[in-house]
């Protein structure tokens, strides 16, 4: 497998006799994320997803990377935010990493994060940062195995 990304960040990966395409989603494709976003946010309605997606796109520099099976069906995704903060500098923050259950034995999470880390390097980011739900122990193990470190706690207060 080629580790370098092409100029348009498109990468082809073959796993278990299947070909997958990893690439950034176009703006008009963002709604394809809903089935994957609902894996992590089970109570979110499609209407709320559409409302928040519009807000995210209108107010942030947001991108999404997706993995497509046969270039047709979105089977995995991750949201991407290029940010700069005092404590870390320019970095890529990843959220809503999800793989459809039928595709979870293909190693797509690994392929997706490899793509994300290469993309971060090409965008001159010095780190990749992410949050994982406290109860998502499978994700914790996955990120620990990739040498991610817990740097703090993510706090939230609804107002």
How do residues 16-55 score in pLDDT, each as one tens digit? 888 999 999 998 999 999 999 999 888 999 999 999 898 8
Check whether 4 has a pLDDT greater than 90. no
CATH superfamily, domain 11-145, is Gcn5-related N-acetyltransferase (GNAT) (3.40.630.30)
Q: Please state, in angstroms and rounded to a whole number, the distance separating the CA atoms of residues 13 and 2.
A: 8
Mean pLDDT of the chain: 90
pLDDT value of residue 65: 97
pLDDT value of residue 1: 37
Check whether 8 has a pLDDT greater than 80. no
Kindly indicate the confidence band of residue 68, based on its pLDDT and cuts at 50, 70 and 90: very high
Give per-residue burial for 91-117: e unless 16+ CB within 10 Å, then b.
bbbbbbbbbbeebeebebbebbbbbbb
Residue ranges per structural domain of the chain = 11-145
Q: Which of 63-67, 110-114, 131-135, 140-144 has the lowest mean pLDDT?
A: 131-135
Percentage of the residues of the chain whose pLDDT score is greater than 70? 94
pLDDT value of residue 113: 97
């Amino acid at each position: 497998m080629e580790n370098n990304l092409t100029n348009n960040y498109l990468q082809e990966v073959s796993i278990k006799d299947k070909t997958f395409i990893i690439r950034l989603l176009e703006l008009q494709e963002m709604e394809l994320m809903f089935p994957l976003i609902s894996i992590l946010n089970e109570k979110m309605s499609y209407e709320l997803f559409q409302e928040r997606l519009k807000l995210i796109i209108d107010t942030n520099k947001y991108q999404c990377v997706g993995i497509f099976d046969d270039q047709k069906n979105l089977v995995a995704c991750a949201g991407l935010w290029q940010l700069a903060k005092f404590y870390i500098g320019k970095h890529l923050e990843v959220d809503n990493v999800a793989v459809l259950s039928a595709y979870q034995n293909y190693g797509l999470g690994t392929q997706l994060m490899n793509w994300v880390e290469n993309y971060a390097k090409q965008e001159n980011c010095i780190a990749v940062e992410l949050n994982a739900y406290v109860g998502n122990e499978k994700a914790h193990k996955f990120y620990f195995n990739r040498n991610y470190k817990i740097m703090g706690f993510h706090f939230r207060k609804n107002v």
